[in-house]
Amino acid sequence: MSFGVFPLPEAVEPMMSLAIIVREATENDLRKVMSINRAELPENYPYGFFHFVWKKWKRYFLVAEYEGNVVGYLMSMVDGRNPLVPPSSDIRRYIENGKKVSHLLSIAVSRKYQGMGIGSSLLKEYLNRLREDGFDISYLEVRVSNSRAIKLYEKFGYKIVRILPFYYMDGEDAYLMVKEIDNSSTGWR
Ligand SMILES: CC(C)(COP(=O)(O)OP(=O)(O)OC[C@H]1O[C@@H](n2cnc3c(N)ncnc32)[C@H](O)[C@@H]1OP(=O)(O)O)[C@@H](O)C(=O)NCCC(=O)NCCS
């Protein structure tokens, strides 16, 4: 199992020397992942769905550990064929043109640990893996009101390509955000 170690930004906690560890989730992590998801997001899934995604796409199901505890996760599916949420026409076009596509399904960090660079560390490791594995596209949906997450995605090169009206159960619109992965560079942007 490979993992990345990311030093904390100095401005956050100068007294702490502990690092954020990003690694692939194990089956034992799934309950904790589920509890972070329930606490931090209105979009929740049954255990079986987490297990299905983990089992099928372990390499792209990451957790972040801080002080020995799992405090964040990122889960994704390969090729965008999500049976629950069929991809929009923009994404279908990429798939039909033979592009290798990843759908970032969900990312969350426990509230107490937000703003410390953990979400960035998860996204960085995910994108590094996509690049190593020759992916062309990563896409996601985000609530139009979730400016914090939108900022995070923009920082990593995702662009808003479309509004998906009434995407969420409560009627809120989503932005469809897409990142084209530059396989020629070694950096993460
Ligand atoms: C979105 C989320 C995953 C970001 O994780 P995080 O660990 O807090 O993110 P980071 O500390 O790495 O910050 C990443 C970027 O987010 C933005 N950000 C962080 N804190 C912010 C705040 N208080 N206000 C506005 N933007 C903020 C900044 O652009 C930041 O980059 P910068 O520090 O280089 O400026 C986290 O806030 C979260 O779990 N939110 C609830 C769940 C959620 O909304 N998930 C996304 C669903 S689509």
User: Do the Cβ atoms of 22 and 63 come closer than 8 Å?
Assistant: yes
Nearest CA to ligand 1 atom 44: 149
Q: Say how many Å lie between the CA of residue 120 and the centre of ligand 1.
A: 8
Which pLDDT does position 15 carry in this prediction? Answer: 40
Split at pLDDT 50, 70, 90, the class of 182 is confident
Mean pLDDT lowest among 44-48, 87-91, 120-124: 87-91
Mean predicted confidence (pLDDT) in 113-117? 96
Q: Is the dihedral of CA 18, 24, 26, 29 positive or negative?
A: positive
User: Do the Cβ atoms of 48 and 33 come closer than 8 Å?
Assistant: no
Q: State the closest ligand 1 atom to the C-alpha of 108, by its place in the atom list counted from 1.
A: 39
By percentage, how much of the chain surpasses pLDDT 70?
A: 84
CA dist 28 and 178 (Å) reads 31
pTM of structure: 0.89
CA dist 138 and 182 (Å) reads 11
Query: Domain residues of the chain, as ranges?
Result: 3-180
Split at pLDDT 50, 70, 90, the class of 89 is confident
Q: Rounded to 5 degrees, what angle do the CA atoms 150, 153, 157 make?
A: 130
Q: Would the pLDDT of 188 be above 60?
A: no
3-state secondary structure of 114: coil
Mean predicted confidence (pLDDT) in 26-42? 98
Say which CATH class 3-180 falls into: alpha beta
pLDDT of 43-53, one tens digit each?
999 999 999 99
User: Which helix H or strand E contains 71, and what residues bound it?
Assistant: strand 69-78
Ligand 1 binding residues, C-beta < 6 A: 40-41, 107-109, 114-120, 142, 146, 148-149, 151-152, 155
